[in-house]
Structure 1
Amino acid sequence: MDYRQERYKSTFENEGGKEIWDFLNQPENVIRMETATFLSRPAIEPLSPLLLQRYGEGVRKDRIKQMMGHMVRQIMEHNGYVLQQGNVKISSADNIFARASRYARNNEVA
């Protein structure tokens, strides 16, 4: 699966987007996103410490976080999920994301 860059083309090309895309698509990270979704949490929430560990403080840039959210949506949709709610608050103070999107299995959406 290739990332559809759309409005994040410049960020993708200049901020290590290919490496981030590959990281997010690693099977263990997809499982983490699916587990968070099963627990009714934003998919990207559990990846924060791993992203910081791997890429450093640069991933805190708003445009990079927005691009990662855009990437996660494509990954989740590819795996049979649909957007359930955007702008879900993440209460953990040490998470790089303050808000993110929550997904549901396509057949679970009411």
Structure 2
Amino acid sequence: MTDVYIPGRFNSTYERENGEAIWSFMNESENIIRMETATYLARPAVEPLSPGLLERFGNPIAEDRIKQMLGHMTRQIMERLGYRLERNGVRITRDGNIFTSASRYTA
């Protein structure tokens, strides 16, 4: 696997919505640690990133297509780290989280 994001069906969203900066944020060491910790706790990897995403990118980051791209990015990162998809559509009920559901990974 590579550290370069392969946007596939999210190419137009990546180009239009500052995808390079979002990808860079997702790959910051602190955010990798957050995703791995969430995975260890059997939670969706993207769940703990919501506050930082909002702080860095503002409310537009909560648009559905961008959140879908974030999930796509998360999958590429987690697979690169050796994790595999365990379950899609895990509910996230924490107040203020931009995600309502996301994928959970396992080692």
What TM-score results when the alignment is normalised by the length of structure 2?
Answer: 0.97
- Structure-1 residue corresponding to 2:6: 4
| Secondary structure in structure 2 of the residue aligned to 1:12 | helix
Tell me the percent identity: 56
SS of the aligned residue for 1:21 comes to: helix
- Give the structure 2 partner of residue 69 of structure 1: 71
Pick 1 or 2: higher relative contact order, CA cutoff 8 A, min separation 6.
2
**Structure 2 counterpart of 1:51:** 53
Question: Unmatched 5+ residue regions in structure 2?
Answer: none
String of CA shifts for 1:32-71, please: whole Å, max 9, x gaps: 0000000000000000000000100000100000000000
Aligned position for 1:19: 21
1:73-106 C-alpha deviation (Å, 9 max, x unpaired): 000000000000000000112100000000000x
Total equivalences in the alignment: 105
CA RMSD of aligned residues (A): 0.4
**Structure 2 match to 1:104:** 106
Measure, in 1, the Cα distance between the counterparts of 2:78 and 2:64: 21
Counterpart-to-counterpart distance in 2, 1:52 and 1:23? 12
Aligned to 1:36: 38
- In structure 1, the gaps of 5 or more residues are 106-110
Task: Please list every run of at least 4 consecutive aligned residues from structure 1 whose deviation after the TM superposition is greater than 3 angstroms.
Answer: none
Q: Deviations over 1:2-38 (max 9, x none)?
A: 0011000000000010000000001110010000000
